[in-house]
Amino acid sequence: MADLANATEPGLPDRAAPAGASSGLIAQEYAVEPNRPLHGAGGGLAAFMARHHTAAQSELMAVQVRPGWPPRAGALAHLAAATIPALLVPLAHGPGPAGNGGEAYYVICRPPPGPSLATPGRSWSEQELIDLVLRPVAAALEGLRAKGMTHRAIRPDNLFSAGPGEPAVLGCAWASPPGCLQPAVFEPPYSGMCLPAGRGEGTIADDVYALGVTLLTLALGRLPLAELDDATMIRRKLDVGSFAALTGDARVPPMLSDLLRGMLAEDPAHRTPPSMLLDPAAARQRRLAARPARRATRPLQVLAVPVWDARGLAYAMAMQPEEGARLLRNGAVDDWLRRYLGDPILSARVEEALRLRGQDNGEDESRADAMLAMRSVAALDPLAPICWRGLAVALDGVGPAIAAAVTSGPQPDRARLQEMLEVEAIGTWLTGAEGRADGMALRQQARMWRSWLRPRSLDGGMARVAYALNPLLPCASPLFAGRCVARLSDVLCALESISARADSRRLSPLDAHLAAFLVARQDFAGGGVLVADNAAGSAPPPLPVQIAALAALQRLDPRPLPGLAAWLAEQAEPTLQDWHSRTRRESMGRQLQACAANGQLGRLLALLDDPEARRTDAMGLRAATEAVARIDVELHHLQDGSSERAEVARRLGHETAAAAGLIALTMTLGLAALG
């Protein structure tokens, strides 16, 4: 546990605030005013007024993070206080006061310059769209691209303008997983089909796509394809292409139409880059000879849904994996690919997936079919995400998807994600998606994630995976209800505060959720003990392990913790009965109270976990036991000796009596003879 003092928290930006700071400020600088909401300013999240504590006139915005949806740690680290035009960049982040009297996690940024562009019924002119939306947003995207970041939240209600004729400003996109608040219509098919929290960081090309849909929405004055559910809308895009599906019969101005063809290209590599969009006239002239998808002469029916091309088949199999696996096994897919689509290369890839399915002898039939469907989807559509039992998630969206599923998602999603990790599906996915990622690194990652599941800290280890993959996800321990504990430095302050509640003192200070949180947040030698010793599943670790972990945390911040120490001392009182010496027990009780008053957990640990004192106590017990045994032997010997002496006395008495009788008889006979 000593190594914890040198542990760091990977991926956590320096601008994050220590939770529970006495000042109540975020990053020791920003104050949130939860009683002053900013309606519609958070781009789908609650937002409130905020201010810098030294500049009362400087108005800022605090966007509240939704529980279970971790903020974007990478973007918060790389964009902190960056200067990017037409973009609300993050200034700081951390826990602050919530309107319900508790705490919430916030991202601080400038407030929008005015209302959003989501004005129903208004149709923008082509010139307005180009000058006031396209150019400023393209400049913001180019700034993000230069920093290796994406926005992933471009839509009318997250674009803001100071007023008519003023350029648009991109809103905050850092307080939730990338793309999770986007309606699926703003996402390319391969992203829109994913779990909202699992869409991943994506690329700037995905932002260009969302900007294209936004421009079309503003031009039409309505959301395209709003009458369709997400699955039907995605099938429409795959069937006829995004541009044709979204525009339909609508009359789009010629220049905007040309721009949208490039921005909504199916292949992200073919989409117009932001740097070119800064000059719309030049971007309009850009032409890429993108080969149209091969279309079959006859559709393949997948549960009554007609499929005409390979990407459509991949989507159908991803959403209906059992039916897809059946069609693969009975040869219908291979026959359709060869005879009606005329693509022997895809047929060979599917045959390889079937061959690998035959090697999955150790798997049950259902799991082997799930593997087959996943490999086949990857082989049929190079852009498809990881698809497992009807659930889709981007490779870099696995962490946020697990966090959402563990904290607030439906049980089926959580179970499927857990199974996906257990079978190392992410590594297996590569067999059908060659060239998508570094195969060796991805397989190692899949093995590591599976190893995180094995410790039984809670929920089969899914809590540990969620915390490990989301460095800003707050701990979900029931102890912290109403508090926001997202960093190691938050833990002791929160526990010290909680120790004042009598109801909490009856519980363990380090429950299974907090154990999983600590193991995930730190990389130290003793970390595994917290989980390895916790074989009972949801039971807390043993008390000495709890104190050792918390004492190691205190070495990072050595302030006294009398409340927490007293809490732990109360938890330790029953263990005093383990000491055999009554004198030692009485002395330990007095020392426990003294350690609690001192507030240093290390001293408490040294008192309770003292091997030398334990050996002395054991030796005393052994010596006392041996002494009692010797006394028992002596008493036994004394008891045996007294019995022997009594027998001798009885025998001597009988002999003496017999001798006396014989003497008397002899004397009597002698006297008779004399007489």
Q: Check residue 2 and give its pLDDT.
A: 35
Q: Is the pLDDT of residue 87 over 60?
A: yes
pTM (2 d.p.): 0.85
| Closest alpha carbon to 238 in 169, 163, 305 | 305
Q: Check residue 669 and give its pLDDT.
A: 53
Over residues 284-308, the mean pLDDT reads 85
Q: Which residues contact residue 180 at a Cβ distance below 8 angstroms, ignoring those fewer than 6 apart?
A: 69, 196, 197, 199, 400, 404
Q: Is the pLDDT of residue 227 over 60?
A: yes
Backbone angles phi, psi at 515, to 5 degrees: -60, -45
Q: Do the bridges between strand 55-64 and strand 103-109 make them parallel or antiparallel, or are there none, so unpaired?
A: antiparallel
Over residues 297-311, the mean pLDDT reads 94
Contact predicate 27/16, CB 8 Å: yes
Q: Check residue 433 and give its pLDDT.
A: 61
pLDDT tens for each residue of 167-184: 999 999 999 999 999 999
Q: Which of 163-172, 628-637, 658-667 has the weakest average pLDDT?
A: 658-667
Report percent pLDDT > 70 for the chain.
Answer: 80
C-alpha angle 42-48-49 in degrees, rounded to nearest 5: 120
First and final C-alpha spacing in the chain: 111
Over residues 358-381, the mean pLDDT reads 86
Q: 216-240 as b/e, with b when 16 or more CB fall inside 10 Å? A: bbbbbeebbbeeeeeeebbbbbbbe
Q: Which of 246-250, 551-555, 661-665 has the weakest average pLDDT?
A: 661-665
pLDDT tens for each residue of 114-153: 999 998 778 899 999 999 999 999 999 999 999 999 999 9
Q: Is the pLDDT of residue 502 over 90?
A: no
Q: Check residue 656 and give its pLDDT.
A: 62
pLDDT tens for each residue of 337-369: 999 999 999 999 999 999 888 776 666 889 999
Q: Do the bridges between strand 300-302 and strand 305-307 make them parallel or antiparallel, or are there none, so unpaired?
A: antiparallel
DSSP assignment, residue 574?
Answer: G
Q: Check residue 650 and give its pLDDT.
A: 66
Q: Check residue 13 and give its pLDDT.
A: 39
Q: H/E element holding 62?
A: strand 55-64
309 to 133, 207, 667: CA distances (angstroms) = 35, 26, 141
Tell me the pLDDT band of 661, cut-offs 50, 70 and 90.
low
> Would you say the C-alpha torsion 108, 109, 111, 117 has a positive or negative sign?
negative
pLDDT tens for each residue of 22-48: 457 898 899 999 999 999 999 999 999
629 to 360, 616, 624: CA distances (angstroms) = 64, 20, 9
pLDDT tens for each residue of 505-531: 888 888 888 888 888 887 543 444 454
Q: Is the pLDDT of residue 662 over 90?
A: no
The better pLDDT of the pair 359, 93 is held by 93
Q: Check residue 527 and give its pLDDT.
A: 47
**H-helix segments, 26-152:** 73-78, 126-128, 135-146
Query: What mean pLDDT, rounded, does the chain reach?
Result: 84
Q: Is the pLDDT of residue 94 over 70?
A: yes
